[in-house]
């Protein structure tokens, strides 16, 4: 396969200098083909190649060539905030060439006009979709889009947003990147792009099936070879073999509980560890502030043995320590849920897919097989460039009989074709609302909607039903957004969420307590979902000291109702300053769950407050504003002003308040007292932050 020497690349010398500093002296076959197909001339491309094949550099070369031709601005889009941060750090290299790099994610109710100062902006699909509704001048001037992890278009939850972004982005210069698009010709045609599809990997992948037979394990590889393993537990036997050969392992399990249980089993293995490096990592773990003490103690014990579990129940701080420890090869094994496969760059020599089945949350007790695409995403993590000559991925099955079928389905077959996920009312009506914020006639709405991947007749039907529903519920007058509709579009919440809020607060008095408001917001499509056992559901009813707006006696009880009630009670405890460890234990959730709930409810209480304002429901508006001010920091009302000072959270705020420091002005007027309570360095920093907040200079 063709390889281009960096010196022969037709780009400015300054670019080559920075690439050489990274250790890049030539382009690999995938990168070379992209250049050959017109990457540097601004050709629209859809690139499908395995994980680790250098797609980020391709994007960088595309964006740099575009900007250095004197074009306007480039936007790089990712599906996850963690990836956004990772790419932002990588792209900062190019500021040496005078290219200003910016980043934005979250906070959907803004046009981020400050980004007009930047040449290259990194963001998420949701943030970009929301920005288009605000129509900032800087975005209208942007004419190059990189759509990373483009296979998310096939995701039931995120897909509609990715498709909406792609419809707008494909009117400009475009580069779409993915590891798994089996119908790349069809998708490239839709994007008006040139398809580039390759299976080249910098580290070849060997795939196999791991079978437990008569208390012994055997790996059957797709190339016809096999390998016997000693021991009755195939995952433990395989993991020990790889680690003791100098490799690292990612073990994927189908639930948090299974990931944690597997980690504790692996802990008992005799892994080769560097004790001094582990001590440093354990010290960092101890300093993590956004985690529960029970989680930290468990992870400290595991990491001391070279293993850690990783899932969304862990706080961001804990996940970052684990990921960094694995990248530095201190942690040898991570047991994780499949969400890790779609996250940050974290390769290992070997990947173990411990389960091909998962529970279907919609059908109680029903297990379904994972998709081929999910397997490809997991197996794609195998093989560390620079460390391994070969990556290895194995699927664990219960018996030899299953081995052939599983190999045929997952190893020998391509992933499922990418299809539109706009084909449901909730997704399509949100899509329509976004279009309506940017056009002025029904013909224009139809024209844009017909650019989706959906069948044209289905689109026509959805447009007719959707416009009627949006008009009936007060979002549109004709095709023009009402004041209510405009606010919903700008807030970037789903129309069904807005209708729940509007109908509930319009029909109820404001005499209800915070639990009622939290429960209402948690019943919306934009709310998070938590697991609730049957017994727990009954207990939750007893714990609620005031009734929700919706009475369960009216037939609304069920999994959604109890999930919302559990979230409401968690939030009630949170804003009443109940200790975090107590909340995690009481409701059996992780610190990551709590952060996710708080972050989402911060947004939803703000949205509720804004909608109450538009609807002129002043009593509800006042209550929702008050709840919004308390949710983000988890404080009682008297601490709201104090925690506005950066660095003063719920614990420090309560300590200061109880010692007579009750507002930012008190911090500025009593610097010595603040330093005595919080320590010299921290106290000094917080005094300066309070002065900055008040607009003064010390």
Q: Identify the CA nearest to 179 among candidates 382, 427, 388.
A: 382
Give the span between the Cα atoms of 28 and 8, in whole angstroms: 13
Q: Using CA atoms, how far apart are residues 301 and 296, in angstroms rounded to an integer?
A: 9
Whether the Cβ atoms of residue 46 and residue 127 lie closer than 8 Å to each other: no
- Phi, psi torsion values for 393, nearest 5 degrees: -130, 130
DSSP code of 525? T
Query: Closest Cα partner for 382 from 502, 264, 251?
Result: 251
Half-sphere exposure of 410 (CA within 13 A, CB side): 29
Phi, psi of 138 (to 5 degrees): -65, -35
Q: Are 206 and 225 in contact (CB under 8 A)?
A: no
What CA–CA distance (Å, rounded) separates 574 from 255? 26
Among residues 437, 609, 614, which one has the least CA distance to residue 520?
Answer: 609
* Beta strand segments in 18-65, E: 26-27, 45-48
* Structure tokens belonging to residue 132: 């288009």
Token pair for residue 284? 């960092």
At how many degrees (to 10) do helices 483-491 and 591-614 cross?
Answer: 160
Rounded to an integer, what distance in angstroms lies between the CA atom of residue 219 and that of residue 234? 9
**DSSP code for 348:** B
Query: Would you say 31 is a known binding-site residue?
Result: yes
What is the rounded radius of gyration, in angstroms, for the C-alpha atoms of the chain?
27
User: Is 664:690 a contact under the CB 8 Å cutoff?
Assistant: yes
478: left (phi over 0), alpha (psi -120 to 50) or beta: left
Contact 309, 260 (CB under 8 A): yes
Task: Say how many C-beta atoms besides its own lie within 10 A of residue 556's C-beta.
Answer: 13
Helix (H, G, I), strand (E, B) or coil at 19: helix
CA dist 438 and 427 (Å) reads: 18
Q: Facing residues of 357 across strands? A: 369
What angle separates helix 456-472 from helix 442-449, to the nearest 10 degrees?
Answer: 130
Taking a C-beta distance cutoff of 8 angstroms, is the pair 686, 672 a contact? Answer: no
Q: What is the DSSP string of 201-250?
A: -SS-EEEEEEEEETTEEEEEETTS-EEEE-SS-HHHHHHHHHHHTT--EE
**Measured CA distances, 293 to 300, 304, 583, 597 (Å):** 10, 16, 12, 19
The rounded distance, in Å, linking the Cα atoms of 555 and 465 is: 27
- CB-based contacts of 424: which residues, under 8 Å, 6+ apart? none
Three state DSSP letters for 71-124: CCCEEEEECCHHHHHHHHHHHHHHHHHCCCEEECCCCCCCCCHHHHHCCEEEEE
Q: Which residues contact 461 (CB under 8 A, 6 or more apart)?
A: none
DSSP letters for 440-488: SSHHHHHHHHTTSSS-HHHHHHHHHHHHHHHHHTTSEETTEEPHHHHHH
Which residues are annotated as part of the binding site for ATP? 31
Which residues are annotated as part of the binding site? 31
């Amino acid at each position: 396969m063709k390889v281009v020497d960096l010196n022969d690349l037709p780009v400015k010398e300054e670019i080559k200098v920075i690439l050489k500093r990274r250790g890049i002296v030539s382009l690999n076959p995938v990168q070379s083909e992209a250049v050959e197909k017109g990457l540097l001339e601004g050709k629209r491309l859809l690139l499908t190649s395995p994980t680790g094949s250098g797609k980020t550099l391709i994007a960088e070369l595309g964006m740099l060539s575009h900007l250095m031709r004197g074009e306007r601005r480039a936007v790089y889009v990712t599906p996850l905030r963690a990836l956004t941060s990772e790419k932002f750090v990588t792209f900062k290299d190019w500021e040496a060439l005078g290219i200003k790099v910016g980043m934005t994610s979250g906070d959907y109710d803004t046009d981020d006009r400050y980004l007009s100062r930047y040449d290259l902006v990194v963001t998420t699909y949701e943030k970009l979709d929301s920005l288009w509704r605000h129509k900032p001048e800087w975005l209208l001037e942007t004419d190059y889009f990189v759509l990373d992890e483009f296979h998310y278009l096939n995701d039931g939850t995120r897909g509609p947003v990715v498709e909406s972004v792609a419809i707008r982005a494909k009117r400009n210069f475009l580069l779409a990147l993915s590891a798994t698009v089996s119908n790349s010709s069809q998708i490239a045609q839709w994007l008006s792009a040139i398809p580039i599809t390759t299976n080249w990997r910098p580290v070849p992948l060997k795939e196999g099936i791991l079978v437990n037979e008569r208390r012994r394990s055997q790996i059957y590889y797709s190339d016809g070879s096999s390998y016997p393993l000693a021991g009755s537990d195939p995952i433990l036997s395989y993991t020990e073999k790889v680690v003791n050969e100098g490799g690292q392992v990612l073990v994927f399990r189908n639930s948090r509980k299974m990931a944690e249980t597997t980690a504790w089993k692996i802990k008992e293995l005799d892994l080769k560890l560097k004790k001094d490096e582990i001590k440093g990592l354990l010290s960092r773990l101890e300093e993590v502030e956004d985690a529960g003490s029970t989680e930290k103690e468990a992870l400290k014990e595991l990491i001391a043995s070279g293993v850690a579990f990783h899932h969304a129940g862990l706080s961001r701080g804990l996940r970052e320590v684990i990921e960094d420890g694995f990248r530095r090869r201190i942690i040898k094994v991570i047991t994780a849920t499949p969400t890790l496969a779609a996250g940050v760059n974290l390769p290992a020599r070997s990947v173990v897919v411990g389960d091909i089945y998962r529970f279907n949350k919609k059908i109680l007790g029903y297990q379904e097989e994972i998709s081929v695409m999910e397997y490809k995403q997991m197996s794609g993590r195998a093989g560390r460039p620079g460390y391994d000559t070969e990556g290895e991925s194995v699927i664990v099955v219960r018996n030899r009989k299953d081995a052939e079928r599983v190999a045929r389905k997952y190893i020998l077959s391509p992933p499922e074709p990418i299809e539109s996920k706009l084909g449901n009312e909730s997704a399509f009506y949100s899509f329509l609302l976004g279009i309506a914020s940017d056009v002025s006639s029904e013909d224009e709405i139809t024209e844009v909607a017909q650019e989706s991947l959906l069948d044209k007749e289905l689109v026509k039907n959805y447009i007719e039903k959707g416009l009627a529903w949006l008009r009936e519920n007060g979002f549109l007058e004709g095709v023009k957004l009402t004041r209510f509709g405009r606010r919903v579009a700008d807030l970037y919440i789903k129309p069904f969420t807005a209708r729940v809020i509007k109908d509930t607060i319009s029909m109820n008095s404001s005499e209800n307590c915070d639990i009622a408001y939290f429960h209402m917001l948690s019943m919306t499509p934009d709310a998070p979902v938590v697991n609730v056992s049957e017994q727990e559901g009954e207990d939750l009813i007893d714990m609620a000291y005031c009734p929700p707006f919706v009475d369960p006696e009216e037939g609304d009880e069920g999994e959604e109702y109890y999930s919302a009630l559990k979230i409401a009670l968690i939030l009630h405890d949170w804003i009443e300053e109940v200790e975090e460890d107590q909340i995690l234990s009481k409701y059996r959730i992780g610190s990551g769950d709590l952060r996710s709930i708080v972050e989402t409810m911060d947004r939803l209480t703000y949205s509720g407050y804004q909608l109450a304002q538009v609807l002129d429901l002043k009593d509800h508006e006042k209550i929702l504003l008050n709840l919004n001010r308390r949710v983000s920091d988890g404080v009682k009302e008297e601490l709201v002003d104090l925690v506005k000072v950066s660095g003063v959270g719920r614990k420090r705020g309560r300590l200061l308040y109880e010692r007579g420091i009750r507002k930012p002005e008190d911090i500025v007027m009593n610097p010595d007292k603040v330093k005595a309570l919080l320590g010299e360095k921290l106290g000094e920093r917080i005094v300066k932050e309070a002065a900055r907040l008040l607009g003064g200079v010390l």
